[in-house]
Structure 1
Amino acid sequence: MRYVARGLALAGLSLGLAFAPAAGTAGAAPAPAPAGATSLYAPSALVLTVTAGDDAVDGTVLRAVTLECAPGARGSHPAPEDACGELRAQAGGFDASVALDPDRACTKQWDPVTVTATGVWEGRHVSYSHTFGNPCVKSTARGVLFSF
């Protein structure tokens, strides 16, 4: 008799669980689609850093900003529209952003500063790093991408 009662209790429990999800979702809204699933734009989101030292991994991060360029320019970068425009003009490259202005002079002391860009540009992973000899040399870079 004990086995029959236990079997009926388990059968009732399984039936209750089978109908519980249907009853609980009757008034619930459908889950939202993932952000990238309905977008017309390939993702373009970067984290940009300025690090003291000649190695971004072991150096001290002095500043960091975010930059999103699709569908619109936004993020914590002080000039997201200009930075996104600069990246688009370079087809996602970074070298022109660190090109130095030859008309500006700096001292020659070695106090390295490294800039990095990590993230996704138009759907592909990017990782970039460039070391300047000192903060003055970094300030002579022509681009706005690493000017923060």
Structure 2
Amino acid sequence: MRKTSRWTAAGVLVAGAMLGSTAGTAHAEPSSLYAPSALVLTTAHGQSAATATPERAVTLTCTPDATGTHPAAEDACAALTQVNGDFSSLAEISRGQPHFCTKEYAPVTVTAQGVWGGKRVTYEHTFANECIKNAEGSDVFEF
């Protein structure tokens, strides 16, 4: 019985040592507590993205910090955050602010593709002209 108790004690010590050595093992954790938000935004003159060649494209990453090639990344991220990533609601931000645009028809198509709040986003909209795009597209499509 003494041999059995020694082996049991030795087994407990070895198991404890092994468990203790794995307690400090680093585990892979997410790099951020926020869902990713990274987009590619384009503008083109034409009636649809299918028929127009993009003239300008920028990247916009909003989480965890506003970065990318967008010239006003912080303002664009703030506008998108305000509408919870709903691009069709961007015009609501500029409602009530005076904007004077001509009635010239020179269509400008904008697109957004990527991820917002961890969800896939695909958006396309055609504005009547550049002035209306800047007025209704908020800071998001001003580049």
The answer on whether the counterparts of 1:96 and 1:143 sit within 8 Å (CA) in structure 2 is no
1:130 aligns with 2:130: no
Instruction: State the distance in 2 between where 1:124 and 1:104 align.
Output: 33
- Aligned partners of 1:47 and 1:67 also within 8 Å: yes
**Alignment deviations for residues 10-41 of structure 1 (CA, whole Å, 9 cap, x no partner):** xxxxxxxxxxxxxxxxxxxxxxx7xx954322
Distance 2:76 2:62 in 1: 9
Identity among equivalent pairs (%): 50
1:76 to 69, 84, 88: 69
Secondary structure of 1:137's counterpart equals helix
Q: Which runs of 5+ in 2 are unaligned?
A: 1-27
Supply the distance in 2 between the matched residues of 1:82 and 1:107 (Cα, whole angstroms).
Answer: 26
Pair 1:57-2:80 in alignment: no
Q: Deviations over 1:34-71 (max 9, x none)?
A: xx954322111000111110111220211111000111
* Structure 1 residues 63 and 101: alpha-carbon distance in aligned structure 2, compared to 1, 3 A threshold: farther
The 1:106/1:61 distance shift into structure 2, 3 A limit, reads same
Shift in Å, 1:101: 5.6
Structure 1 spans left out of the alignment, 5+ residues? 1-32
Asked if structure 1 preserves the Cα contact closer than 8 Å seen for 2:134 and 2:141, the reply is no
Number of aligned residue pairs: 114
TM-score (norm 1): 0.68
In the alignment, does 2:97 pair up with 1:110? no
The reply to whether residue 42 of structure 1 matches residue 42 of structure 2 is: no
User: Partner residue of 1:93?
Assistant: 86
Q: What stretches of structure 1 move > 6 A for 4+ residues in a row?
A: none
For normalisation by structure 2, the TM-score amounts to 0.70
